[in-house]
Structure 1
Amino acid sequence: MINIIYRKKEIWILLTIYLTRHGLTEWNVNRRMQGWGNGELTEKGISDAKALGKRLKEVPIDKVYSSSSKRAFETAKYIIGDRELSLIQMDDLREINFGDWDGRIREEIEAEYPDEFKVFWETPHLFNRNSGETFEHVRKRAIRSLQHIIEENKEGTVLIVTHSIFLRVLMTYIKDIPLSDVFKSTPPGNTSLFKIEMTDGELKLIFENDMQHVE
């Protein structure tokens, strides 16, 4: 776990980090594997992003970080709305790279690569193909991106807009659970909200996968 301590005039600094998944896309609807490729936001995806923006309207967000993927960046812009906030794109916040599976329908992949597909979902820590990323690689860049954001924002509140598997992998780090358990938690809904607080250098998950703004 991160163990970074910041002090200022003998007062421990609190950093609040909100995280969310991008809005619903056409690829989500069509059950296409969506990694570094991109499906366009649907009307619901846009509506949900705006609803999350309304929910966070009174939250004093200092900065927004987004995956450089179009669906995440556009979601971030809809959440921000007319607020004057810095929006920073980061490649490290992108979804897992599915390689030659990217953009293909799940059922087609399962039929063509049954063994590898099974490993992906049931024993993700063992997943390794010649195309795309491993979960361990995603975990390393997830931790790297989080550490970078913490270093840049030693206090205040930030929002991170990213992706489903990225969020699940990052949560294994925050919760200190094995990568093999990455798919055992509830899948993050589109625009679902997570909240993390850092006090005295320790990260604490306050809530996760909250969808009350669209329910």
Structure 2
Amino acid sequence: MVTIYLVRHGQTEWNVTGKMQGWGNGELTESGIRDALSLGNRLQDIPIDVIYSSTSKRAYQTAELIAGERTVPIIKDDRLREMSFGDWEGRLREEIEKEFSAEYKAFWETPHLYERNSGELFTDVLKRAEEMYKDIIASHPSETVLIVSHSIFLRILTAYLRKLSLDKLFTQTYIGNASLTKIQVTDGIPEFIFEGDRSHCEE
């Protein structure tokens, strides 16, 4: 059995102001730092064999805060980065919705039909999520793995594990900042123990 913990990075300044991040990066807020430290405290008695993190600063910093004084290795991997939003990155959501109304609507309501010439498609992220998951399962049999990534990436990964089509992507449990999801994989079958839990966070 492989135990996998999924974590979304802590709150960033761009989360607060409503900017799209993607491959861009907003700095962690004080709240984001506190929540990551609280999650590390919550997990302090759970043996974690390895941490995988997106190469984006907000995710890697969250991983470091969770690890704390542990000697557990943190492995950066570009495949865990958020979906690239192209020229939307760093811009306010309300501005994007006004200027690209059809594309923005498709992004949230019909992701399987979303198309743009800037950034990635949801199918692009699905390919790297599937590849990353299979590599982790193969590399860490009978171990406990913690993965720190991003909202859209984690939704796509959990949809893949549930065999959900992309049109159902946003029907899943909301993945908040610094939230924790636990999955146990037995004989290749994933079971969700809990999802999007933020009981360790300050509200």
Structure with the larger helix share: 2
Global fold match (TM > 0.5): yes
Aligned partner (choices 81, 90, 94) of residue 94 of structure 1: 81
TM-score by length of 2: 0.97
Name the residue aligned to 1:5.
none
Distance in 1 (alpha carbons) for counterparts of 2:25 and 2:199: 26
Name the residue aligned to 2:47.
60
Moved more, 186-195 or 27-36: 186-195
The answer to whether residue 112 in structure 2 is matched with residue 125 in structure 1 is: yes
The answer to whether residue 25 in structure 2 is matched with residue 38 in structure 1 is: yes
The answer to whether residue 123 in structure 2 is matched with residue 146 in structure 1 is: no
2:47 aligned counterpart, secondary structure: coil
| 2:130/2:157 contact within 8 Å kept | yes
| 2:51/2:74 contact within 8 Å kept | yes
Deviation at 1:165, TM superposition (A): 0.5
Deviation at 1:185, TM superposition (A): 2.2
Distance in 1 (alpha carbons) for counterparts of 2:53 and 2:195: 18
Deviation at 1:152, TM superposition (A): 1.2
Larger radius of gyration: 1
Distance in 2 (alpha carbons) for counterparts of 1:201 and 1:40: 37
CA-to-aligned-CA distance 1:59-114 (integer Å, 9 cap, x gap): 01000000000000000000001111100000000000000001100000011011
Name the residue aligned to 1:137.
124
2:108 aligned counterpart, secondary structure: helix
The one-letter code matched in structure 1 to 2:64 is K
Distance in 2 (alpha carbons) for counterparts of 1:130 and 1:201: 36
Moved more, 165-174 or 42-51: 165-174
Deviation at 1:121, TM superposition (A): 0.7
The one-letter code matched in structure 2 to 1:191 is A
| 1:94/1:163 contact within 8 Å kept | yes
Moved more, 81-90 or 198-207: 198-207
The one-letter code matched in structure 2 to 1:76 is A
Aligned-CA RMSD value: 0.8
CA-to-aligned-CA distance 1:152-202 (integer Å, 9 cap, x gap): 101110100000011111111111111101112232110110111111222
Distance in 1 (alpha carbons) for counterparts of 2:106 and 2:156: 16
What percent identity do the matched residue pairs reach? 57
Distance in 1 (alpha carbons) for counterparts of 2:57 and 2:11: 12
Name the residue aligned to 1:168.
155
Distance in 2 (alpha carbons) for counterparts of 1:184 and 1:123: 11
TM-score by length of 1: 0.92
Q: Which runs of 5+ in 1 are unaligned?
A: 1-13
1:182 aligned counterpart, secondary structure: helix
| 2:59/2:148 contact within 8 Å kept | yes
Q: Which runs of 5+ in 2 are unaligned?
A: none
